[in-house]
Amino acid sequence: MSYSRFTIEEQDHIAIVRFSRTDKRNAMDAETWHELKRVFEQLSNEGKVRCAVLASEGKHFCTGMDLAVFQDTSKLFATEEPGRQGEYFRHLVAYLQACISAVEAARFPVIAAVQGGCIGAGFDLISACDIRLATSDAWFQIAETNIGMTADVGTLQRVGSIMPAGLARELCYTGRRLTAVEATTSGYLNRTFESHEALLEGAVEMAREIATKSPMSVAGCKHLLNYSRDHSVADSLHYQTVWQAAHFHYRDMTEAAFAAFEKREANFEALPVINPQKDFN
């Protein structure tokens, strides 16, 4: 499958997914949203990728929603009846949320590598990633407040579990910029790098380390961490017992043990391909 808004480079169980709209400062038009969902669903379903790096080229990582999306409101409100307008818009927002959530739902960790500005929908996007790295001069902004709307595709639901709640509320209420230094201190960023080149090298190095681990183990960690974020400790512990009983992978544990003993890299089987339309007919 080919894409016009992203490029994908796969090697050694790692995927580097890059925005390719540098002429538009990587703003997200309608096609970007569609492709974002397809890219991460495809990579996840194929089962070969064990970690992905989400990056971009140009001055800014992502400047948010392309304003051209808002120019033709007739597409957003196909009827003048308020109730039906609301019903249509509710489903549109749910679709945009699903595009962002495809990153979080992927069966592998996603590392965001951010340079320059990361604004609005870009902030929503990297908040759905597992790990965030950035250049030391990067900055972040929940910009929706500044244009009279409420962020609606994931930031408000995720950011409070990534950084202190008070800071998350401040950023949402004021719409101010968050520097890379403050983002690192608050825990929103894992670490920073002095250049874009060093950032990409660091992100790929981390992805390579993750890719040496059992994909079943890593996928389980991601799924259970996300589940535990949204549920009580008691519920999460109960779910963990069910998960472990169903997914306990002796083969990967044996391979990891032998690889360590023999001082070699472990050779793990890929995750199963997920293709219900083909397999269930």
CA distances from 19 to 6, 105, 127, 203 (A): 5, 19, 17, 16
Whether residues 164 and 188 share a domain: the answer is: yes
Handedness of CA 195, 131, 45, 269 (dihedral sign): positive
Handedness of CA 164, 168, 171, 174 (dihedral sign): negative
Whether residues 62 and 179 share a domain: the answer is: yes
Residue 224 burial by CB count (10 A; 0-12/13-18/19+): exposed, middle or buried?
A: middle
Q: What is the pLDDT of residue 74?
A: 60
Average pLDDT over residues 134-152: 96
Using DSSP's 3-state secondary structure scheme, residue 74 falls into: coil
CB-CB neighbours of 271 under 10 Å: 20
Closest CA to 252 of 210, 212, 222, 225: 212
Rounded (5°) CA angle 5-11-13: 105
Q: What is the pLDDT of residue 180?
A: 98
CB-CB neighbours of 107 under 10 Å: 22
Whether residues 138 and 171 share a domain: the answer is: yes
Whether residues 50 and 148 share a domain: the answer is: yes
**Mean of the per-residue pLDDT values for the chain?**
94
The total number of structural domains in the chain stands at 2
Average pLDDT over residues 236-263: 93
Residue 114: pLDDT band (50, 70, 90) is very high
In a domain, 206, yes or no: yes
Here the tokens at position 230 are 């949204």
Q: What is the pLDDT of residue 86?
A: 87
CA distances from 227 to 49, 219, 239, 249, 271 (A): 22, 12, 9, 20, 20
Average pLDDT over residues 232-254: 93
End residue of a domain, out of 211, 233, 253:
211
Residue 101: pLDDT band (50, 70, 90) is very high
Residue 75: pLDDT band (50, 70, 90) is low
* CATH code of the domain containing 274: 1.10.12.10
User: How many angstroms separate the CA atoms of 193 and 196, rounded?
Assistant: 7
Q: Which pLDDT tens digit goes with each residue over 192-229? A: 999 999 999 999 999 999 999 999 999 999 999 999 99
Residue 281: pLDDT band (50, 70, 90) is low
% of the chain residues with pLDDT over 90: 87
Q: Which residue range forms the structural domain that includes residue 92?
A: 6-211
Per the CB < 8 A criterion, the answer to whether 164 and 186 are in contact is yes
Using DSSP's 3-state secondary structure scheme, residue 29 falls into: coil
* CATH code of the domain containing 201: 3.90.226.10
In a domain, 1, yes or no: no
CB-CB neighbours of 207 under 10 Å: 25
